[in-house]
Amino acid sequence: MISSHFKEHIAQELGTPILKIKAVSGGDISKAYCVFTSTQRFFLKVNESANALKMFLTEKDGLEIISNTKTIKAPEVRHCGKYESVSYLLMEFIESKNPTSKEFETLGHQLASLHAFAVGDSFGWNQDNYIGSLPQSNKNHKDWALFYVRERLLPQLKWANEKRLLTSLEIPSETKLIKGCERFFPKVRPALLHGDLWGGNYLIDSHGVPYLIDPAVYFGHHEVDLAMTQLFGGFSSNFYAAYAEKIPAEPFQKERRDIYQLYYLLVHLNLFGSSYYRSVKGLLLRYFK
């Protein structure tokens, strides 16, 4: 429930009276609302956890960096801040609809453009951010395999062990992890990634325009985003065909997809528990025993 004082604070940030605030879906970690004024609607995320403001600030930065590439849209952020104990992120409201085949093609083309033209000098980011509600380390590395093992797999494996979701014997050594990755990783150019591109983190607006939301950005291998799109059912075949028109598949893409999905499965293991154990254990044995 949004208090009257918080509502007035948001109105002051917008510079216009608020007619009503309505709870909406779209907030797995945070609560989500639609804010109505006389002329516009806005999307409001609120969270009272200790790290919520930092989480929203890194989300804001991710949305803005994606938008600034001019390759694919992201919602415009109006304000990010804290009112009393409540952290919040206020942005434009995107009226969304189910995508057509043609709109999936557009999404594929635009994601490939993001990956092709927004490139970096190293793997990582200028700050750490979050994957879901978990911290995501983004220390910079020149070598992709080292980055992926040290900043992605090892932190999640450590947390899984601390939570007693994986035993020490089930966790490969850093050397085995690096060697397993190096078998399949090609020479990689750092591309700007959305970082958490499952089916709930894109929108097609009422005019058919794709938007990316809830990013966990960093510079990495472009196939990481593709791997995440395929983890829970996959996107339309039109999406993948359109993407491949700009960035064709390379050898061992299936193996890399598995290795990249391992990170997201570890995240889900740490967030949601043992139902993801079998999938994680299977991939660890297949590629890193």
- Confidence check: pLDDT of 275 > 80: yes
Kindly state whether residues 107 and 86 are assigned to the same domain. no
From 152, 113, 184, 114, select the one nearest 265 (Cα to Cα): 152
Kindly state whether residues 73 and 177 are assigned to the same domain. no
- Confidence check: pLDDT of 26 > 80: no
Kindly state whether residues 237 and 147 are assigned to the same domain. yes
Q: How many domains does the chain have?
A: 2
Kindly state whether residues 73 and 201 are assigned to the same domain. no
For the chain, give the mean pLDDT: 96
Kindly state whether residues 162 and 137 are assigned to the same domain. yes
* pLDDT reported for residue 30: 92
- Confidence check: pLDDT of 1 > 80: no
* pLDDT reported for residue 29: 86
Question: Could you give the CA distance from residue 165 to residue 281 in angstroms, rounded to a whole number?
Answer: 10
Kindly state whether residues 125 and 259 are assigned to the same domain. yes
Q: Hey, which residues are catalytic here?
A: 196
Give how far Cα 207 sits from Cα of 59, 107, 204, 235, Å. Answer: 25, 13, 8, 20
Kindly state whether residues 39 and 126 are assigned to the same domain. no
Tell me which of 92, 110, 142 is where a domain ends: 92
- Confidence check: pLDDT of 28 > 90: no
Averaged over 263-285, what is the pLDDT?
Answer: 98
Angle formed by the axes of helices 174-182 and 277-288, to 10°? 70
Compute how many other C-beta atoms are within 10 angstroms of the C-beta atom of residue 41: 14
pLDDT in tens, 42-59: 999 999 999 999 999 999
**In the chain, pLDDT over 70 holds for what percent of residues?**
99
Q: What's 76's domain CATH number?
A: 3.30.200.20
The pLDDT confidence band at residue 25, using thresholds 50, 70 and 90, is confident
Kindly state whether residues 87 and 205 are assigned to the same domain. no
The pLDDT confidence band at residue 270, using thresholds 50, 70 and 90, is very high
Kindly state whether residues 84 and 141 are assigned to the same domain. no
Averaged over 84-101, what is the pLDDT?
Answer: 96
Kindly state whether residues 83 and 139 are assigned to the same domain. no
The pLDDT confidence band at residue 27, using thresholds 50, 70 and 90, is low
pLDDT in tens, 177-210: 999 999 999 999 999 999 999 999 999 999 999 9
Q: What's 218's domain CATH number?
A: 3.90.1200.10
pLDDT in tens, 75-92: 999 999 999 999 999 999
Could you list the residue range(s) of the whole structural domain that residue 34 is in? Answer: 4-92
Contacts of 197 (CB under 8 A, 6+ apart): 111, 212, 225, 228, 229
Question: Could you give the CA distance from residue 132 to residue 135 in angstroms, rounded to a whole number?
Answer: 8
